[in-house]
Structure 1
């Protein structure tokens, strides 16, 4: 089994803007190589030169100014304890003579220095005192500088939400007063925080802005820091050649200006890049040089990061004894300093090294400890859902490793708890907040909780987990019995390719590998052109066509998926076709059309079982609570079909999405069944739909669905209204409008997105991030979505049958969907081709 490490990307170099001392505060943090700037006001800069006027005015102030200057001199020689002593003495005198500006600047440099020494809470206290004085005397420069530094201290503690808030406030002040050095520093620091949140495109943008300003004003250290941070980000994106180029440029500048701290940082980051490239000899050399500088100047956090990085290199070389020694030394320093994220990453890497040594008990202990810290950091993000989704991408590896350790130890039940603990954490926080549960009270599920949910659902739960080249499967029966199975994935292909081929076998396109969060070489216009062409091409699939049953001789991929996902557990699945199975997919399995999987006798899975899906087991407990909340909802059903289509700007042209006449027929038929009026064409405006969604008991949207991140991970096409509504109801707008404790949750018992690809989205560690997730977060207990474009006429037939089954035959939603699919499959008037019926899936509550 190939196991992956969370790489420690090195040092964050902090520097004071020209004046106070370019090397006063270089600090390192979490896994990346970024450098952060400590912002200093012009008055602080001015202390580098004696102020004759002040010296002549007051001998006591002159004494304090002299002590302040001595502190700076000590810092130049990396004599930090002596610098602290001088500044503390200066602070006492400034307080005695009532010179508040001197008091504020002394507090500021003390905060910066304590931060660089790893005493973050003490640093916060000094910065808060400095801010209070600056505000009291109306000193905007000082306020902005201390706000930025306060943000940096919270960043070190892993409180990214507060860090961003303080950096943004500092940036606003810098721009307001035209202070370009402060502006560059705040931009740089924002880039660092977004880097740690996994927002690499945003991080690059901030660092590029900071670099531009540094070049314009001739700030060499600022240029070096921004170059180093850009290198860190490109390294994370896998572009090591570009990363090395940026780090080499940064190192050259650091040597030219004599900044030892920046030299050490760049050396460390170069070591990381060469480690990625497999040049371990060069990596060790760079890291050892970095450690030598860190120890020479007494920079403990830099030393801790470089020690951790050396541990990674020796792990790669198979020298586990040395790797463990370096990781343990790194952890000791980080723990003492309160560097929570750094401690978590080193604990993860230490756990992996013990796993490779087959010492499973210490591996389990260290990975558990890493997860606990990471969960604490995520909690500090509060209600910032998007940040939580992003940061989990950087945290998921610890859960994966711990699952493997527990399975290897023969503890599959405990591994199930971890599998659930690592799913949909941001979504679970949103759902918990809706029901007046604060995030800290959102506890992870125990085995007893999982068994209780299976019993409440009266369903067999099947949870999958992909761990590198293996697949783990847990089956939880309504009786509480838990069965675990595992087996190797095929060696001749990847799971992603197998899923893609199975979809192509049905006759639908595979999922794009496009990652909307990554920097793209294509221009937006080109991307939109691709989308438009895709929609135009797909219209062919929406036209009536003759049935084309799946050729049994050409169905091997669907059978392969059946053998991979179903055969290992077939003996513990229910034998009664009416008994429900709820599949909990993982990674690319979210794109699997479970209903269409074929057994050896060429029977589809839907012929043998009643099927639902869910993003996680824990989400089912919340959809059940939301079902109780809305079960008496009697609002007017909202049925929408074929709205006047919005346009997409492609280059300089406005191109409308193609109309869906079949969707109009579908909506009119369903509206008649539900005794309501459908909104068609120009009536189906975005503002009207959003207004009516709030109180509707059922929501049915038969229109285009868009994916691939252009409209924030998914959108529904509605009639536009210029200039305020573009006609695209995005997943983000649904989250903002309806999800969360202070929002008015939707009252719908059922939402049907009868549009192409509405069940897809960006697959992340959090799960599928798209329209379905947003609607679950908005309080919807039951959701029907599609995994591909379904022909218009076929969708109309299936949906009419689905609603007839619910409202005439009184079936639950899962049974209603199964019977509708079987009708399409077996009825002479239907379409037996799985492309026509297998795309749809019921998510959440069956009732």
Structure 2
């Protein structure tokens, strides 16, 4: 079961809870839920209508076991009354509670009972819609995404018959999320865009406020942060207007806007606008009347203070959070909040030690509240909550009490496996792996890490899958798993050091390490797009190019590891024992040294040092194997420096090999370029536009391309997104060449290329060229971006180039690592297309020859030619 399924299911669960009130007795809708329901109040003699309502209250309070028990009693009561409709309602709610508890078989049985009862007695549309909605949630949670979509489509139709707009909107959001999981992004976005238009057309009401807020949250979870913020701000503005009118007319108290402010804070934090997030959270805590919103906001504020390195503010917030938690009755929500709080306390302890701030120890407080939470979870008979708390407790105990931590974490893992909770399995197994590694038991550590890795592979974790309320970030919560597993796999089992830098690592471990590195590349791209949008396939290097070698470097805290793959030969591995900070420092200097004012001798020295890390140990092996192309699957900051400019003391790497950047073979489309019939769409901006300066060389660049290959030119005002789309649809082509401003960023929303009428976002590329996907006779084989640059101050910005490359659907992309000069770019592109059209010349070789033409002329400094990199297929 995928983690995105789990997260989307939790979103659906919120919507379902929201929709539950439509069938509950009207008098109960305006009441504040009484979460202190005692066992006496849930007596067997209570009418089933009362039990149904009490179950709802318990469910909303997170007391799922109690809610299930009450709804079971309600079903029995309705059966005695021979009320099949009421019985069907009870079974559907019972399924909902069983789903929350991870009891999938019981949930399936309950919803089947509900559907069977409804079939015998045709129900009202609202009743049928509710049951179908819950059925869709169950199907989504158990990986039956197509069936879930069908259920939600049927639920939407039933809600329309019932004239229930909230139900319609909720069903549409559910469908959109499920379609995204199937990779049907265009259909998913069409639904959300249609929903937004419908909501905008509605007159202002509390329903519209809630609908816009739900839409804004859905947009945030799909990574559309700017659109999410706009929609949430609209929701807030309408709520304020309605509130002012109600005050003026002395009607109901004004709408509580704190939940919208909370959602805005989450969107701002995910967009890395931490100052704005802080403002939203602080305002939400000031105006809220909801204990739940106040606690959730305070927990997010606490995390934000830690992220902003403001431990004093975090310390001041601790008593308030602790007080709120102590007043909550046992529930899933209170236990989740406790885990959240304990994790922040642990991080706060680390922060105050690093900054040498005098304060109380917060580890003992974290241990105490987690121990209490374990007991609460047992009382609630909530296995999932118990597994989650034990995992966090094991993590907390690990530094000082490793043996106890091992026992606690093992228990957590067993519980998580018992209820099929893979996201908790992954966390618990990772914790076990760290504990075994700490004890020096490498084999047990590898076994635990492999369980973590295998679980993550089934989950396809991304940023959208990480709950903003309970996790810090992908780089802290997910990425380290991959690196730590690689480190363990590449730990030599031989006590005697080899005579050279090659390690004594088994082929089994090398193959697994290579798989993990490739998976990390994919996870980063999933993270970038906030969705597991990329299709993978198993490709063997020998099937692509017997003259190409793949180099997998990975930066670890204590060393730089390299795996080398040469066709027809065993994998090999060599190591540079150098701390990560030193590696990063050299890489940063390498990038800076590309400034023409930098001393050439110093630049060459830096690039020779990197050559010694990555190439020198295998230089003779590469030469003896007749290798012509080096394919780099780069890691971290290595992506920011040009591999073609590595220097062996006599010549650049480019002078001996073609060089290619790959996000991994699993994303490679291994078709060859049809050199004999190259047709391009070439679009660009030479004039200043939208605050971007003119690119006077673009007009000449496009004209010269047209002399080398057949090209349809779109220049300046003709280069608009609609014109580009129409040109795509009306003309066969294999190359898309864009000579325009653009930026690569680690944030998908900030990765774009500029058209005359606006920015084409990275996410827009698959929609823009979607019509090409069905025309396999003319696939886009090459995307060229000749004037883009990376975002300044963003060390992971090159991820944007890889993301845009794979999202475009082109088998390869030619882009630039930094802003390039007009005249040298025109010359390089002219040479590139001239060589590309020659029989037997690969894309990589065409680029190499074009770059060599600059080296041999007036543009011999790497700043002119080394910026150009080929990403993806090189043949």
TM surpasses 0.5: yes
- CA shift at 1:423, angstroms? 2.9
**Which residue number in structure 2 is paired with residue 465 of structure 1?**
554
Correspondence 1:751 to 2:760: no
Shift in CA distance, 743/325, structure 1 to aligned 2, threshold 3 Å: farther
What is the match of residue 506 of structure 1?
Answer: 594
Q: Does 1:220 align with 2:290?
A: yes
Unaligned runs of 5+ in 2: 1-6, 32-43, 157-165, 172-198, 233-257, 265-283, 350-361, 467-472, 494-504
Q: Is the 8 A contact 1:407 1:415 kept in 2?
A: yes
The answer to whether the 8 A contact 2:463-2:474 is kept is: no
Report the equivalent of 2:502.
Answer: none
**Corresponding residue for residue 39 of structure 2:** none
Structure 1 CA distance for aligned equivalents of residues 741 and 109 of structure 2: 54
8 Å CA contact retained: 2:92, 2:114:
yes
For residue 693 of structure 2, the aligned residue among 639, 658, 667 is 658
State the secondary structure of the residue aligned to 1:506: coil
Aligned to 1:785: 815
1:146-165 counterparts in 2 under 5 A? 147=133, 151=137
The equivalent of 1:90 in structure 2 is 74
Q: CA deviation at 1:98?
A: 5.0
Structure 2 Cα separation of the partners of residues 393 and 471 of structure 1? 20
Match of 2:607 in 1: 558
**Which of the residues 263, 285, 298 maps onto 2:368?**
285
Distance 1:684 1:79 in 2: 58
Q: TM-score, normalised by structure 1?
A: 0.71
Shift of residue 125, structure 1, vs aligned partner: 5.3
- 5 Å matches for 1:658-677? 658-674=693-709, 676=711
2:260 to 185, 204, 209: 209
Instruction: Report the CA distance shift for 1:572/1:89 in structure 2 as closer, same or farther (over 3 A).
Output: same
Q: Which residue of 1 aligns with 2:281?
A: none
Whole-Å separation in 2 of the counterparts to 1:217 and 1:129 = 44
Structure 1 distance, partners of 2:546, 2:526, is 18
- Relative to 1, partners in 2 of residues 1:632 and 1:558: Cα closer, same or farther, differing over 3 Å? closer
1:600–1:300 distance in 2 versus 1, CA, 3 Å: same
Q: CA separation in 2, counterparts of 1:673 and 1:76? A: 67
CA contact (8 A) 1:577 1:610 kept: no
Instruction: Flag the 1:312–1:62 CA change in 2: closer, same or farther, 3 A.
Output: closer
1:640-682 Cα shifts (integer Å, max 9, x gaps): 34355541xxxxxxx3x21111121222122122255644333
Cα distance change, pair 165–376 in 1 and its aligned pair in 2 (3 A): farther
1:181-330 maps to which residues of 2 (within 5 A)?
Answer: 208-209=259-260, 220-224=290-294, 226-227=296-297, 230=300, 234=304, 249=320, 252-253=323-324, 255-256=326-327, 258=329, 262-278=333-349, 279-317=362-400, 319-330=401-412
Asked if 1:103 is matched to 2:87, the reply is: yes
The Cα of 1:844 is off from its aligned counterpart by 3.2
Displacement of 1:473: 0.8
Aligned residues: 730
In the alignment, the residues of structure 2 paired with residue 276 and residue 158 of structure 1 have an alpha-carbon distance, to the nearest angstrom, of: 38
Aligned to 2:634: 585
Residue 485 of structure 1 and its aligned partner are, at CA, apart by 0.6
Over aligned residue pairs, what C-alpha RMSD do you find?
5.4
The within-5 A match list for 1:50-449 is: 63-65=47-49, 84=68, 87-95=71-79, 97-99=81-83, 102-123=86-107, 126=110, 137-138=123-124, 140=126, 143=129, 147=133, 151=137, 172=169, 208-209=259-260, 220-224=290-294, 226-227=296-297, 230=300, 234=304, 249=320, 252-253=323-324, 255-256=326-327, 258=329, 262-278=333-349, 279-317=362-400, 319-378=401-460, 394-408=477-491, 409=493, 410=505, 411-424=509-522, 449=540
Whole-angstrom distance in 2 between the partners of 1:702 and 1:243 = 48
Match for residue 729 of structure 1 among 744, 757, 760: 760
Deviates more, 1:219-228 or 1:347-356: 219-228
Cα separation, partners in 2 of 1:706 and 1:269, compared to 1, 3 Å: closer
Kindly state the Cα deviation for residue 427 of structure 1 after the two structures are TM-superposed.
7.1
**More displaced, 209-218 or 800-809?**
209-218
Deviation at residue 109 of structure 1 after TM alignment: 4.1
Counterpart of 1:638 in 2: which secondary structure? strand
Contact 1:41 1:141 in 2 (8 A): no
Q: TM-score, normalised by structure 2?
A: 0.69
1:839 match? 867
8 Å Cα contact 1:584/1:614 also seen in 2: yes
Residue 182 of structure 2 aligns with which residue? none
Taking the aligned partners of 2:15 and 2:550, their CA distance within structure 1 comes to 47
CA drift of 1:444 comes to 5.5
User: 1 or 2 for the larger relative contact order (CA 8 Å, sep ≥6)?
Assistant: 1
2:733 corresponds to: 696
Q: What is the rounded CA distance, in whole Å, between the counterparts of 2:848 and 2:421 in structure 1?
A: 53
Contact (CA 8 Å) 1:227, 1:249: kept in 2 or not? Answer: no
Aligned partners of 1:250, 1:585: CA distance in 2, in Å?
43
**Shift in alpha-carbon separation, 1:307–1:463, aligned structure 2, 3 A:** same
Taking a change above 3 Å as real, the CA distance of residues 76 and 674 of structure 1, as seen in their structure-2 partners, is: closer
